[in-house]
Structure formats: C-alpha cells, structure tokens
Amino acid sequence: MTPEEYADWIEAGRLLFAGPVDFERGVPSMEFLPDEGTPEVAFAGRSNVGKSSLINALTGRNKLARASTEPGRTRELNFFRMGERLRLVDLPGYGYAKAPKAEIGRWTALTRDYLRGRSTLKRVVLLIDGRHGLKPDDKDVMDALDKAAVTYQLVLTKADKVKPTEIEALVAATKDAIAKRPAAHPEIVATSSETGLGIDVLRAEIAALA
Ligand code: GTP
Ligand code: MG
C-alpha cells in the first residue's frame, strides 16, 4: 500500500465505526440466530482474553458489550448491528470459566456450531492474550477453523501489560506459528483496549470486509 492508500484504508475503518452500532440480540441456541444476509465478523478466544472489551474499544462505546474481570461473563452469542453493512458477534470464551459445568458445555457447543456453519461469517477475529501467546485450546480452535475453511485473523490483546519489544517478538513468533495454516489471515494485530493501540488498524481490517 502507498501512504495514501493506507490513509484511505484507515479512514474507511474510522468511518464505519463512527456510524450506528446497536445491540441486536443475544442468542442462547441455534434456533434464535438472526437471518443470514448481513456479513458477520465474530470475536472468539479464551475466557477473559478481552473479546467484549475489544468490541467496546472498536465501537468507542464503553458499555455496549458486557466485560468483566470474571472469566465466563459472555454466555450467549451477542449480535451487534452496524446498519446494513455488518454485524459484530461477541462470542462466549473457551477454557476456564467461573460458571456451572453444564452451562459451559452448552455455550461451548453453541459457539462451535456457529463457527462451523454460518454462511455469512466473513472472518473470525481470534484473540490471543498478549502476555501468554498461543495455548493448546487456541490451536484446537484454529484446527477446526482451518478444517471448516473459515478465515480467521489473530489479534493479540492487553498489549499495555507487556513491553513493546516483547509484544513485537510475540507478533513475529505467532506469525511463524500460523504460516502454514490455510485459513489464517497473515496479518496479526497487537491491540490494547485500554490505550487504543492497534484499534484503528483492526477497524480498517474489518471495514474491508463490510
Ligand atoms: P468472557 O466473556 O468471559 O469470555 O471474557 P472476554 O474475552 O469478553 O473478556 P472481557 O472483555 O470481559 O475482559 C476481561 C478482563 O480483561 C476485564 O477485566 C477487562 O477489563 C480486561 N481487559 C480487556 N482488555 C484489556 C486490555 O486491552 N488491557 C488491559 N489491561 N485489560 C484488559
Ligand atoms: Mg465477553
């Protein structure tokens, strides 16, 4: 990209996210999914990695998605509508969560079914904790997405908690780790929902899909 093209790309992201965003519905099981039609971008990752916080940072709306210090906050598929152009989907996390086992099983199965079988799902934003890097259950999710041919983009979260040199090293190592994965988008974005790092780039990445 030339500097002018880059500026236009960033501006397209800014414009999309400056527009309307509304909570559409919370989906507790597959029969309540909204009609397919509008393109969707879903946010997946381990419990507590920062999915709901990232949606709030992207949309500049503090309380749109419910975030919490307690892993297992998001328990339904939460759909947010950006006019006619796009839906953002806040997914329940996987891995450890502070919730009854049966409920965790229910929302994990729901998330898996949604990720595998949604025709309007344009991309999964797969969040990885910038302090810890890829974990075995992240690899399992990537395996499933590769198999289902669902494109995903890795985003490192909580970059404000680690040194810039460390986050750069993690971006490089993670790039190497996904190089041979067929459905992985090659660009990895380091973000912080606290400082706003990387948010403009991620907005642009998402706007390019709308
Ligand atoms: P579940 O819905 O439980 O799967 O979690 P989630 O992935 O939606 O995480 P959530 O956004 O609720 O954030 C979990 C915790 O991490 C909260 O205490 C947030 O304030 C914190 N957090 C999220 N993003 C960041 C970040 O960029 N920097 C810092 N320092 N903390 C963050
Ligand atoms: Mg959440």
Write out pLDDT tens, residues 106-115.
Answer: 999 999 999 9
pLDDT digit string (tens) for 65-114?
A: 999 999 999 999 999 999 999 999 999 999 988 999 999 999 999 999 99
Per-residue pLDDT, 208 = 96
Q: What backbone phi and psi angles, to 5 degrees, belong to 98?
A: -90, 80
Per-residue confidence (pLDDT) for residue 96, from 0 to 100: 85
What is the model's pLDDT at position 112?
A: 95
Counting as low any pLDDT under 50, the low residues of the chain are: none
Q: What is the pLDDT of residue 187?
A: 96
CB atoms within 5 A of ion ligand 2 belong to: 51-52, 73-74
Please check whether residue 97 is in contact with residue 81, taking contact to mean a CB–CB distance below 8 angstroms: no
* Residue among 182, 169, 171, 106 at smallest CA distance from 142: 182
Q: How many CB atoms lie within 10 A of CB 198?
A: 22
Q: What's the gap in Å between 73 CA and the centre of ligand 2?
A: 5
Domains of the chain: 3-197 (3.40.50.300)
- Enclosing H/E stretch for 73: none
